Structure 1
Amino acid sequence: MDPLDLQQPSGPVDEPQNPLNEELDIPDDVFINQENVAPPQPKTRANVMQFEQELSQKAGMANDEVYRARKRVERVETAKYKVQKALTQTNNENSLIALIRTISNDIGSINRNISTMQTTISAMQTTISAMQTDINSIKDEVSGMKPLMLYVRTSENARRRELREPPIPVPFLVGEGPDGTDLPSINSVEDIELLDLEQLRRFLTGYNVRYASRTSRVNMKIMLRDTLGFCTVNDMRMNFS
C-alpha cells in the first residue's frame, strides 16, 4: 500500500489548541453566587472547573459554621436547664426568669441564623449541582476529543518529519504522559526499537492500545509505530527485534 501523502504547503503551523483553553459560551448569570467567588475570566474550560472547585470549598466552610452554631445551641440549652433547675431552689425567681428569657432569646436568634445558613447552603448546593453537571459534560467532551487530537498530532508529526521540522508532543489518552515522566521521547522508529518491554507496555497503555499478554515485543513495537503515525516507506521497512 502506498504511503499517504500528508505534505502540505510549508510555513508556520499552529499547534492544536489544548481543549482546556477553549472559551465556553456560558451565560454570566450561571456564575452569580452569594459567596463572593469571582466568575471565571476568561470562561475557559479550565477556569470554569476551577470556579466549581472554589464553590465546593465554600459549601464545606458553610457546613462547618452550621455545625459550630448547633454546638453553641447545645451549650446554651444546657445552661438554660441548669438555670431552670436552680429556679426551684432559690427565692430569686424574678432574676432567674429574666435570665432564662435572655437565654431563650439568644437561642431563638441562633436558630434563625442556622435557618438562614441552611437556606444559603441549599442554594449553594443547587448551584454546585448545576455546575457539576456542566463540568461532567465538559469532561465528556474533552474525553471524546482525545482520540481526534491523537490523530491530528500524529498526522502533523508525519508532515513535520518530511519537512525535517521538530515534532509536537502527543499526549497519552489514558493518564498523564509521556511528557513529564521518565519515558523517553519517540521521534523515529529507531527510538521505538530502543524501548524495553516495560516502556512498551506503558506507551501502549497510555495510548489505549489493547494487546494480549502474550504479544511479542516485535508486535508491540509495530503497534506503537502504527499508533504514532510512522508510515513512510523507510519506517515500514524497519525490522524490529
Structure 2
Amino acid sequence: MKKYISYIALILAGVILVSCHKDKFDYKPGYVGRSKITTYPIITVKGSDYVLVTKGGTYNDPGATAKAGAEDVEVKSSTINVNVAGVYTQTYTATNVDGFSATATRHVVVYDTDAGAAAHDYSGNYARNTNGSVVEVTKIAPGVYSVFNPGGAPGTDLTVIAFNDTGTDFYIPQQNASDGSPTSSSQETSVPAPGGKLAGFNWVIINPTYGPALRIFSKI
C-alpha cells in the first residue's frame, strides 16, 4: 500500500511541476504569433486651432509632427487658397510603415474686409427670442468673429466663424464647424446700432443637426 502511495505522490509532484512551468514563446520582433503589431501615428498640430490670413497674404503654416511609437513619421498637409476668402479646413496626414494613417486638422480663415466693416465691433452676448439661450460673439480680426452657440440651442458647444466683410452683413460662410459638421447660414438680416455695434441679427443655421427655423437674436 505504501508503495502505491509513493507512486501517486510522485505522479502528483510531476503534474504540479509541469503546471507551474511557464510556456516560452519565441516570436519574431514585432509579431505575436502570426499577427504583426502596428503602432498608429499620433499627430501633434502646432500653433492655434484657428489661423487668420488676409486675402492674398502669406499663410505661414505652423505645421505638425507625428510619431508612431518612438519613430518619427512624415506629415503631409493639404493646401490653402489664400486668394479666395473663406474658412478652410487644413488636414494633416501621417502614415506608418504598415500603411495605417491618422489625420488631424486646423481651421485657416482667409478674410477680405472693407474699411467700413473693419471698424465695426459686433462682440457681445445675444439672446434667442424663443428660449433665451445665449450666443457669444467675439471679434478676432477685422470683420471676423468667433461665434459660440450660433443656433441658440441649449447645451451646445458648437463654435463657428462669422464674417462682417462689408456693410452690416453678418453671416456664417460654408465651413466645418468646431465639431467637424458642415455649417453655414442663410436668410441673414442684422439690426445695426450706433458706434458700429449690432443690436441684433437673424439667420437660419444650415447644419445636419439643426432645423430650418429662422433664429432671432437680440443683444443683452
Point out which structure has higher relative CO (alpha carbons under 8 A, 6+ apart).
1
- Calculate the TM-score normalised by the size of structure 1: 0.24
Name the one with the larger helix percent: 1
Q: Which structure has the bigger radius of gyration?
A: 1
- Calculate the TM-score normalised by the size of structure 2: 0.26
Name the one with the larger strand percent: 2
